[in-house]
Amino acid sequence: MAKVTYNEDNIRSLDWKEHIRLRPGMYIGKLGDGSTADDGIYILIKEVLDNCIDEFVMGHGNAVDIEIVDGVVEIRDYGRGIPLGKVVDCVSKINTGGKYDSKAFKKSVGLNGVGTKAVNALSNYFKVQAVREGKTKVAEFERGVLTNDHKIKSTKEENGTIIYFKPDDSIFKNYKFRSEYIENQLWNYAYLNAGLKLNFNGKTLVSKNGLLDLLNRKVGEEKLRYDIIHLKDTDIEIALTHGNSYGEQYYSFVNGQNTTQGGTHLNAYKEAIVATLRGFYGKQYDPKDIRASIITAISVKVEEPVFESQTKTRLGSSDIGPKGPTIRTFINDFVKKQLDNYLHKNKAVADAIKARIEQSEKERKEIAGIQKAAKQSARKANLHNKKLRDCRVHFNAKGKKVSEEDRLASTIFITEGDSASGSITKARNVLSQAVFSLRGKPLNCFGLTKKVVYQNEEFNLLQHALNIEDGIDGLRFNHVVIATDADVDGMHIRLLLLTFFLQFFPDLVRNGHLFILETPLFRVRDKSKTFYCYSESEKQKAIKSLRGKAEITRFKGLGEISPDEFGEFINEDIRLEPVIMNADTKIESILGYFMGKNTPARQEFIINNLKIEKEELDEEEVEEIDEEKAEQLEEELAELEA
């Protein structure tokens, strides 16, 4: 064994920017490419916005301008502006900020003076400008290094702070801002700060009714069992209703932070709802029946909150404040008093909730036997050997709880066919990536009841592999990735799987867990270099860079890609297209369009969305491809309608 030296030369001190760049996960969570809402590039935006929101909360400025073009972000508030003599320090010195005065910022969004420093260190280019009372100060940086410290000048601009940055593409590889995620992020700020105007790329987002507006936007045209209940008091606000779709929808916030991973406040809220409704109706309903189809939001304000990560996605605090009650007691007392009073005054709403609970109870008991038999069947099927190639994170756990960090890093690929699943299985990262292999095309479950989930072997085994029989709280994999060929069959399988998830597990999609794997259409190479291209334009660019002397291979299916090649684009450089449910997404309409009896429209959609690059083919070849597609589609659609 080689001798390892350990002396003074091995001890190294990092400055602030080196530490952030070496350990970015400590400051912004995971990196990512923008395909998930909690990827690092959105955390960078959040860190800047948090300061803008704090200015608004303190009574300074009622608007924030956000412009994002070609991967570059500019955010301007109309607050007091950073004190001009401290502009450079505030964006480049850790533990420097204006939030250490607990009296002024007791319930502030950000408290640790790290946010904009992390943005600065993780950006190719970063510029800060402060405007205060007719004077302005500008400083420019590259990867945290000060490159231009401008002198203070006179100006006629309004007071405020302007931050301009471009994320470092050597850290955030192939990153892409998705406006759907950003708009959702901004809407949350609007709901929690009534009257604040957020101007995003020409669109103004503003809310007058807080969480009531949030729930109205989330439910869209979904049929509700009763009008939304909206209750609030000092430091707490809730909005609640029940719909008709499967799953449970929760939106939780602490001091303006969207706690997507929940925490002590959300756990307390769930308990309080169950306890209050049991008490009101005088019956020990099963919690699952009370919460079935619930759509609700809660916002609380806590003094000096303790979050379980820098990105503040999960609350760990147990108390409202140093001298206040526990969070559990505070929330339970509020819900018990306010919700109970509301139900006594609104008999129609109380009757509607009771009817929904009892309907859920009836449905649950009807499928209880089928569900139990399905679980036993899944175990007997020896799932882990035949269908699921598990990852070590879960396989080695053997019944023990997997850490949240490991679960968040885990992925499962859903494939069809032995060749595709074989290639992915050999190429995957066995520590965090699993593979589930479908046998043929799954059932079209459009319009069917949840019994099909347990009676159909493929769906039964799939939900067992994901551990979502009782809802997505037990979801084993953070990324559920549909990996199918870019042809007619692959598109059809993709639609069938989307139908399954949207109809029976919409909260899995709504919470950002479902993705489509993007695989290259072409391989362009010469003796010295290889490019994997995902579009015709990328192919032409690769050919040009090789100066035309290139071998071009077009991949028609996943099974044609060797395991060695698969490893190139399902690990560090993986490209995932998220399945995003916007606030105006209408599940019933979508499923009716794709899987109902509108075959001409669906046929046109499938053909138009295939990744066939016709530009490279002559007219006769295009006609042959279209004829082949049409024949396949006729068979597929006949099968669907049968």
pLDDT in tens, 256-282: 888 888 889 999 999 999 999 999 999
- Looking at the domain assignment, is residue 310 inside a domain? yes
Task: Please give the Cα distance from 479 to 558 (Å, whole number).
Answer: 19
Q: Which residues contact 29 (CB under 8 A, 6 or more apart)?
A: 38, 40, 43, 309, 310, 311, 313
pLDDT at 488 over 80: no
Residue predicted with more confidence, 256 or 352? 352
Confidence category of residue 291, pLDDT binned at 50, 70, 90: very high
pLDDT in tens, 41-83: 999 999 999 889 989 988 899 999 999 999 999 999 999 999 9
Mean pLDDT of 281-292: 94
Residue 615 has a pLDDT of 43
Task: Please give the Cα distance from 506 to 524 (Å, whole number).
Answer: 39
What domain count does the chain have? 4
Residue predicted with more confidence, 318 or 49? 49
Same structural domain for residues 392 and 339? Answer: no
Confidence category of residue 111, pLDDT binned at 50, 70, 90: very low
Same structural domain for residues 250 and 159? Answer: no
Same structural domain for residues 337 and 266? Answer: yes
Report DSSP state, residue 447: T
Same structural domain for residues 62 and 113? Answer: yes
Confidence category of residue 94, pLDDT binned at 50, 70, 90: confident
pLDDT in tens, 555-598: 877 877 888 888 888 887 788 889 887 665 666 666 666 666 65
Same structural domain for residues 145 and 30? Answer: yes
CA angle, 170 then 172 then 177, to 5° = 135
Confidence category of residue 642, pLDDT binned at 50, 70, 90: very low
Write down which residue in 332, 363, 394 finishes a domain: 363
Task: Please give the Cα distance from 88 to 423 (Å, whole number).
Answer: 51
Residue 637 has a pLDDT of 47
Q: Please give the residue range of the domain that contains residue 155.
A: 16-205
Mean pLDDT of 141-145: 93
- Looking at the domain assignment, is residue 529 inside a domain? no
Q: Distance of alpha carbon 164 from its chain centroid, rounded? A: 25
pLDDT at 611 over 60: no
pLDDT at 39 over 80: yes
Q: Where are the beta strands (DSSP E) in 427-548?
A: 433-438, 479-482, 514-518, 522-525, 530-533
Mean pLDDT of 167-175: 90
pLDDT at 636 over 60: no
User: Both tokens of residue 447?
Assistant: 């319009």
pLDDT in tens, 443-484: 888 878 888 877 888 888 898 889 888 788 889 999 999 998
Same structural domain for residues 184 and 239? Answer: no
Same structural domain for residues 507 and 633? Answer: no
Contact 477, 466 (CB under 8 A): yes
- Looking at the domain assignment, is residue 487 inside a domain? yes
pLDDT at 614 over 50: no
Which residue from 315, 296, 299 is spatially nearest to 307, judged by alpha carbons?
315
pLDDT at 310 over 70: no
pLDDT at 633 over 60: no
Same structural domain for residues 40 and 135? Answer: yes
For 500, phi then psi, to 5°, come to -60, -50
Mean pLDDT of 610-626: 45
Mean pLDDT of 480-508: 86
Contact 136, 129 (CB under 8 A): yes
Residue 368 has a pLDDT of 76
- Looking at the domain assignment, is residue 346 inside a domain? yes
CATH number of the structural domain spanning residue 162? 3.30.565.10
pLDDT in tens, 182-211: 999 999 999 999 899 999 999 999 999 999
10 Å CB burial of residue 27 (0-12, 13-18, 19+) is buried
Confidence category of residue 135, pLDDT binned at 50, 70, 90: very high
Q: Which segment of 89-93, 427-431, 451-455 scores lowest on mean pLDDT? A: 451-455
Write down which residue in 330, 363, 396 finishes a domain: 363
Percent of the chain's residues with pLDDT above 70: 82
Tell which phi-psi region holds residue 246, choosing left (phi > 0), alpha (psi between -120 and 50) or beta: beta
Q: Which residues contact 173 (CB under 8 A, 6 or more apart)?
A: 33, 572, 573
Residue 612 has a pLDDT of 45
Tell which phi-psi region holds residue 459, choosing left (phi > 0), alpha (psi between -120 and 50) or beta: alpha
CATH number of the structural domain spanning residue 238? 3.30.230.10
Confidence category of residue 381, pLDDT binned at 50, 70, 90: low
- Looking at the domain assignment, is residue 465 inside a domain? yes
Mean pLDDT of 552-557: 84
- Looking at the domain assignment, is residue 135 inside a domain? yes
CATH number of the structural domain spanning residue 425? 3.40.50.670
Same structural domain for residues 193 and 217? Answer: no
pLDDT at 137 over 80: yes
Average pLDDT over all residues of the chain: 83
- Looking at the domain assignment, is residue 93 inside a domain? yes
Mean pLDDT of 242-254: 88
Percent of the chain's residues with pLDDT above 90: 38
Same structural domain for residues 280 and 348? Answer: yes
Same structural domain for residues 43 and 184? Answer: yes
- Looking at the domain assignment, is residue 109 inside a domain? yes
pTM for the structure as a whole: 0.78
Q: Which residues contact 346 (CB under 8 A, 6 or more apart)?
A: none
Same structural domain for residues 201 and 273? Answer: no
